[in-house]
A and B are shown apart, each in its own frame.
Chain A
């Protein structure tokens, strides 16, 4: 199993541009999450999904959109990129039956907005 994969690894955007961060998991997990991580600030939840066709906002959803058309994929869309969106983005997943809710993380996408 590849686990959780994310593309791209790095990206530089200009202010106002848009992009989609890709996330795929091959563990048949129901739940998927997008976090951003800023230096010294821990992980902040952007959006999450409990299954295909179901998404909900997390702590910091402004400026982002998500969709979940399949169990495997959970892309994150940035519209009109702003310097405040410079961060490292992590996708994670867990199984609905996991009592402890252990989440498995991807390697991250490092995004810079100039």
Chain B
């Protein structure tokens, strides 16, 4: 079993749809949960991060963490064609002596006008 599982998609939705992206994980020591966005032929960039359980909202994006279920989600409201990208979840135990992140496989999202 991989430490972090993410459905690779691809996921195709019409403009304006609500998008739900998800990851599951097995290591209960993870404390920091991140979503990176990667446009085609670019490096990943941090989109949102959440510490421990709960929700975090930033504009059209909401990140949710359910540590009891070892499940994290990213919701995109009113999706736009500019949201078309690969979304990677990432996790860490935080304050480690290596700074390593564990990444999911990434989900490719296409938002059609």
A interface residues, Cβ below 8 angstroms from B = 4, 30-31, 33, 40-43, 45, 48, 50, 56, 90, 92, 94, 96, 98-108, 110
Cross-chain contact B105 with A41 (CB below 8 angstroms): yes
Chain A residues near B105 (CB-CB < 8 A): 40-42
Cross-chain contact A105 with B45 (CB below 8 angstroms): yes
Cross-chain contact B100 with A100 (CB below 8 angstroms): no
Question: Contacts A96-B99, A100-B49 given; 7 further ones with Cβ under 8 A?
Answer: A33-B99, A92-B43, A99-B95, A101-B96, A103-B46, A104-B46, A108-B42
Contact A100/B98 with A42-B103, A43-B44, A105-B43 known, Cβ cut-off 8 Å: no
> Which residues of chain B (1-43) have a CB below 8 Å from chain A?
6, 8, 32, 34, 41-43
Complex CA–CA separation, A97 to B5 (angstroms): 28
Contact A42/B100 with A100-B49, A101-B94, A102-B49 known, Cβ cut-off 8 Å: no
B interface residues, Cβ below 8 angstroms from A = 6, 8, 32, 34, 41-46, 49, 51, 88, 90, 92, 94-101, 103-106
Cross-chain contact B103 with A98 (CB below 8 angstroms): no
Complex CA–CA separation, A38 to B33 (angstroms): 23
Contact A48/B98 with A41-B105, A42-B106 known, Cβ cut-off 8 Å: yes
Chain B residues near A94 (CB-CB < 8 A): 99
Task: Select one of B43, B88, B100 contacting A107, CB under 8 A.
Answer: B43
Complex CA–CA separation, A107 to B42 (angstroms): 5
In the assembled complex, how far is the CB of residue B98 from the closest CB belonging to chain A, in whole angstroms?
6
Chain B residues near A105 (CB-CB < 8 A): 43-45
Contact A100/B94 with A42-B6, A42-B106, A94-B99 known, Cβ cut-off 8 Å: yes
In the assembled complex, how far is the CB of residue B76 from the closest CB belonging to chain A, in whole angstroms?
20
Task: Select one of A96, A101, A106, A108 contacting B100, CB under 8 A.
Answer: A101
Complex CA–CA separation, A33 to B90 (angstroms): 15
Complex CA–CA separation, A30 to B96 (angstroms): 13
Cross-chain contact B99 with A101 (CB below 8 angstroms): yes
